[in-house]
Structure 1
Amino acid sequence: MRSGQFVSIMTFSALPPVFGEALAERGYETPTAVQAAVLEAEAAGRDLIVSAQTGSGKTVAFGIALTSDLAEALGDSAAAPLALIIAPTRELALQVSRELSWLYGKTGARITTCVGGMDASKERRALRSGAHIVVGTPGRLRDHLERGALDLSAIRAVVLDEADEMLDMGFREDLEELLDATPDGRRTLLFSATMPRPIVALAKRYQRDALRISTAGDDRGHGDIAFQAVTVSPSEIDAAAINLLRFHEAETAILFCATRDNVRRLHATLLERGFAAVALSGEHSQSERNQALQALRDRRARVCVATDVAARGIDLPSLSLVIHVEIPRDAETLQHRSGRTGRAGKKGTAVLIVPYPRRKRVESMLRGAKIKADWIDAPTPEAIRAQDRERLIADLLRPVEFDEEDRAIAQRLIAERSPEDIAAALVQAHRAAMPQPEELIENTPEARRAAQQESHRPGFEDVVWFRLDIGRRQNADPRWLLPLLCRRGHITRNEVGAIRIGPNETHFQVPSTIAGKFRSALERTAKEEGDEASVQIEPSNGPSDMGRRANSGRPNKPPRHHAKPRGSAPGAKRHGTAKDKPRGRKDRQS
């Protein structure tokens, strides 16, 4: 395997002039590491396995790599496709198509895009009219293949972009059917940020003597991304996100959440605070997603709240800030999220918002990803106002051309008010358009201890703790625990206080005023049959009771109301853990 950093002393002079001109017009002077790697002589005409991080210029890299397969035929009229490029999501496929359109624009190449959510009949007509290059998502391409609209008999090269993501998303069967329909002598270029076993197996089956190239480097991170971690009280995550947005005032920012429900909630919060924000998650139609992305591109919106899956393939040149509102599930997700910024030599910032109790987990994740992050406090209102002053002065002193009408209004204002009053009014108008920063708990040991104690909502000053005999190891999750408690105890969501999930048990609060009614309802519903009735719910002494129970192995004194636990959370498979990840061949419909 070739690894390490390729020094970009190479130029694009080895390419046919038509491609060199297109690259020069887009501002490309020297190749990035991955582009330099595919231009080297030993990569010419060979199957490739390329490990390159998001934002490394890999789309242009495989576009360059395909020139040797396509250059001679591009002057001819399009018939059956010569190159097939497969990407995991609609957004990424559309982005690839846009990149190849300018790279191959001077050659007259015809590029057809086939993705879920678009008009399939139009795609079939485009395929029948002939295409040199077809770009698409696995499910839609397979549909066209099975309907006879996509002819892969003349394919000279296949590119699998973000192959690891496609396998994670359940597209292995689609990929295999597509690859099996291509000629044996074709080239296969496999681009993947990671190389898990399924990727290695796929490469072994469909590639011959592949050259392995890694440009990820030993640190696996992005040299143009500054990583920061902000510790906050668990109750102040949204407030910290608001202050980070206000402090940086990025041209474009993405905030990542774990679920579509949290995207919806945070998006509504930002709109309420006055931010120009859009949302991207699995619940949005393709039309809504296109509108949101266009709003970001033309600057009508500056903030995007998204899930991991919905944000794949998004390429926004103005994106300079990524905020991990909810902690990524692993180091790879951290890399993929953060890789939305710091592209093409531009600087970017990625900030993790870390609740105090989860700092150790995040430190471990950062070590695993070999990322050095600066641990900082969340921006205070005072720091934000200081930044606002500097930005405002810089904006107002920036050279501007005025027309006669502007000067006429200025003269009238000067006749009515002093210059100082006019300037103050201008400053006030600018400030009025800015969302107000949030007051946060001071990041001191005393404040952190206080924040980790129970914060009582109105009505929860006096509470009774209860315990369930399931925890994280049984997939306990508030998203389905709350409905269970409401059904079993005949209460509402607003009558459940703090929830503390341990390894094997969960504790939660109920106001003392309804504790008796809640306990009576539990006794009645204990007689029902089904998975939910097998969960034992009983009074407890609170979360501090977890350790004693784990050490003693003895139950609490209050009597149990329910049957022996089954050892796994009820409905865990039925309710799931609300992931935004498509499964199987969802690509066809969405």
Structure 2
Amino acid sequence: MECFKALGLSDCICDALARKGFSEPTPIQEAVIPRLLSGERDVVGQAATGTGKTAAFGLPILESIEAGAGHVQALVLAPTRELAVQVADEIESFKGNKRINVLPIYGGQAFGPQFQGLRRGADIVVGTPGRVLDHIERGSLDLSNISFLVLDEADEMLNMGFIDDIETVMAAASEDRRTLLFSATMPQDILRIAKRYMNDFENVAVKREQRDVPLTEQVFHEVAESDRFEALCRVIDANDGFYGLVFCRTRADVDNVAARLQERNYAAEGLHGDASQAQREKVLNKFRKQTVTVLVATDVAARGIDVQELTHVVNYAIPQDPETYVHRIGRTGRAGRTGHAVTIINPNEFRKMRFITRNASGEIKKQSLPRVEEVISARKLRLKSGVMAAMQQEGLEPFEAFAQELLEIDDDPKKALAAVLKMAYRDDLDASRYRQIDDAPQRSMAGGGNGRAEMFCASGRADGMSPRELVDVVSREAGINGRLIQGVRIMARHAVFQVPEREAENIERTFRKLAAGAPPLVRRSRQGRGGGGRSGPRGGFKPRGNGGGPRGGNGGKRRYDNRGNGNDRDRGNRSYGSHN
């Protein structure tokens, strides 16, 4: 770990990195860590997701803060709850034996556990902008003494409409803090935030690493969420000599998938950040020797795994971005061998997969899963070929006498051979072990049974709409739980979101009634329309508040009313969609 020690990191932190399988720092870590440990200036870092940004800011923060200070010492803002949890987990895994408390807070989770965590004494808080602002307004989160404020994926937070919330949070934070801003791109609004709220800052830019995977065949399968595990088993069984990595998003997912594979008699093991160095080495040795042929892991745990012979990489959980995707699948197709990269998605992840398809290396094809009959037929063919090959080899004599005994057990020799096959292969050749998988699951568009429907909103960023406002309005007017509103995307002049199909009709009916004959503010999305073709907000749906600070004259709280005369929203009494 000399490379990390040279950056100024302590033995305690370096030991934690060694246990996680880190071998050398990434470019962004080399550039940022010494600056944060030795200097006092703020930092603006430009680097893509998957380049090691969390360690770049997390390690120096862990080195700089004190355990048991009695107040929050560092705040990290992240655009989504998934990323907030991921960042919190990774910082937690870096701390070694330091008694530092890391707490994720995000919308969609009950306030109770978050209140308790803050009261117990969180040293580092990682949260989404909306929920952090909720806690500030409730008085449960005090930022007056923080030493570090980090904006992670700042451009994503900007795209999701959180700029007002971010500015309010920054205004509430200690003036003596150091601010660290990380973004893959640097639009003007990000630079404006940096100039307005950051002190004398340094710019650190790391170029995106280009990776090629010319020998890797890339496909993805789209299945219902309930069929994801069944699809994984189908992928493994359909490929002779499967030897691969299966990537999951969380430690809990790793444990769950590995256990279910073991229950089905696959040679599988799980690996994640909770594993000790001894456990890690034990599992990796089994994997290298191929006594374990399916290794289920998180991205962090898979660092440092270098096995040339991998036949497959399976994305059981879709990667967060194209860089992570390319980094994952680069582990197969090495040393002149052809590798296979398989991604399993549910219908709600189709757009994200399409984004990865456009931005990753090589062609990624959509494929149907092999049918059960094809899997069984392929297994039988491989078994038959193996038997025929064994018959041509020497050394069968010790088995011939016993084979004759078995054939004489019953008048029907086929029955005896069938019993031997059943004992040897259990239910591997039984089609009933497989569940049928819907090859055309309902995607999140209008229509469709028990799936999700895509809805269109005729207001966008130009009208002052944000993900937070959209969830508030739809949940309030239609009387549904805000947690059911997912996949919110705010464009310049419109927005789209997804709800369970059973709620779509109620929402559409509600907003038609409110519009009183005018075009409704919210309706089902119509495929092929693209959501455009409008000239302003509908149904009197207008933001309130005008100037007087970064969030407007009323502290930035906008209120929307489909009838033009609604009530101020109560931030504390609503649920948020999964975007926050």
Q: Give TM-score, length-normalised by structure 2.
A: 0.49
Q: Give TM-score, length-normalised by structure 1.
A: 0.49
